[in-house]
Amino acid sequence: MGDLTPTKALELHQKMWEIRLFELSASRLYKEGALPGFIHLSIGQEACAVGACLALESNDYITSTHRGHGHCLAKGASPNMMMAELAGKVTGYSKGRGGSMHIADVAVGVLGANGIVGQSAPLACGAAYTAQVKKTKQLALAFFGEGATGAGPVHEAMNIAAIWKLPVIFFCESNRYAELSPYDVHVSVPNVSVRASNYGFRGLTVDGSNVAEIYEAVSTAAADARGGNGPVFIEAKTHRWHGHYEGDPMTYLRPADRDTENRVDPIEQFEKLMAERLKIGDEAISAAKQTAAEIIDAAVEYALNSEDPSPGVMYEDVLA
């Protein structure tokens, strides 16, 4: 677990629980009809968002995906405003107009979730280039899935990031399926991280269920980027437990992935490490869980008690 302190471990643990409970609440509310539109949940992938985002500085940037609730929460976005946005309420980030795939909070470095596959990569390059020109020592981290690694914008972004030595981390959440397609149907190599070498920078593959390993990998990559050494590609092998979208019947899953016994719970795994290696007691772990539950319960209450937007909101914040 490297230099991970008990204080940082408890912070990582609580944030993973916040994401898990936020997603479970969103799933329940969607089934109850309280959340309109599509939502894409990241249950099972909490270690990726938390390990990556908590290794960054508060003024660093992230760009996200259509499955971005966890990324946004881990980087510091408001659970209240996020849940309200999912519920289509006027108190949401986009006053209820954007929904799940359009959460953004520039104040905490969240440059936006994104419904266009692979577009997080060039957006991150833009933020990284700005930091490079202004010499602010900031960096940008782009989240995307393994399906996006076959998209042109990701390769174009990796190429320009290498040429200009941009302070950017390409973070691939390799979660076994790109929408409905198994990994080996659309990816020609066992680990997509090897593709970084084609552009002349370092790529590595980590255990996407191990938050401590991810935290350490991103911390090292961030130090490299800030030192002017250019981009790094990190592939985290993870597993989304729900379908591509909420309500997905998941009939395309391979037999091994249908068996819940094959799932590795990143939170349970980390709790064992906290107890065994950092000697953190059950009381502290339970307290972190309770705090997370209170935060998400408050977010749900805030969203459900918020007002619906008036028709006039559709004409606000529109630029010609």
Question: Which range of residues forms the domain containing residue 53?
Answer: 6-302
Q: Is residue 311 part of a domain?
A: no
Instruction: Compute the distance between CA of residue 86 and CA of residue 114 in angstroms, rounded to an integer.
Output: 14
Q: Is residue 178 part of a domain?
A: yes
Q: Is residue 234 part of a domain?
A: yes
Q: Could you tell me the two tokens for 318?
A: 């529109």
Q: Is residue 309 part of a domain?
A: no
Q: What average pLDDT does this structure show over 237-254? A: 91
Q: Is the distance from CB of 224 to CB of 254 less than 8 angstroms? A: no
Residue type, 146: E
Residues facing 236 on adjacent strands: 173, 206
For the chain, give the mean pLDDT: 95
Q: Could you tell me the two tokens for 3?
A: 């230099």
Q: What average pLDDT does this structure show over 176-180? A: 90
Query: Does residue 2 carry a pLDDT above 70?
Result: no
Q: Is residue 295 part of a domain?
A: yes
Q: How many domains does the chain have?
A: 1
Q: What average pLDDT does this structure show over 276-305? A: 97
Rounded to 10 degrees, the C-alpha dihedral 20/26/30/34 comes to 160
Identify the CATH number of the domain in which residue 163 sits: 3.40.50.970
Region for 273 from its dihedrals, namely left if φ exceeds 0, alpha if ψ lies in -120 to 50, beta otherwise: alpha
Query: 101: exposed, middle or buried (C-beta count within 10 Å: 0-12, 13-18, 19+)?
Result: buried
Q: Is the distance from CB of 128 to CB of 170 less than 8 angstroms? A: no
- Per-residue model confidence as pLDDT tens digits over 204-242: 999 999 999 999 999 999 999 999 999 999 999 999 999
Q: Is residue 314 part of a domain?
A: no
Q: Is residue 277 part of a domain?
A: yes
Q: Could you tell me the two tokens for 207?
A: 């255990």
Q: Is residue 312 part of a domain?
A: no
- For residue 287, give Cα distances in angstroms to 5, 255, 281: 17, 37, 10
Q: Which of 119, 139, 141, 142 is nearest to 129 (CA)?
A: 139
Instruction: Compute the distance between CA of residue 198 and CA of residue 239 in angstroms, rounded to an integer.
Output: 27
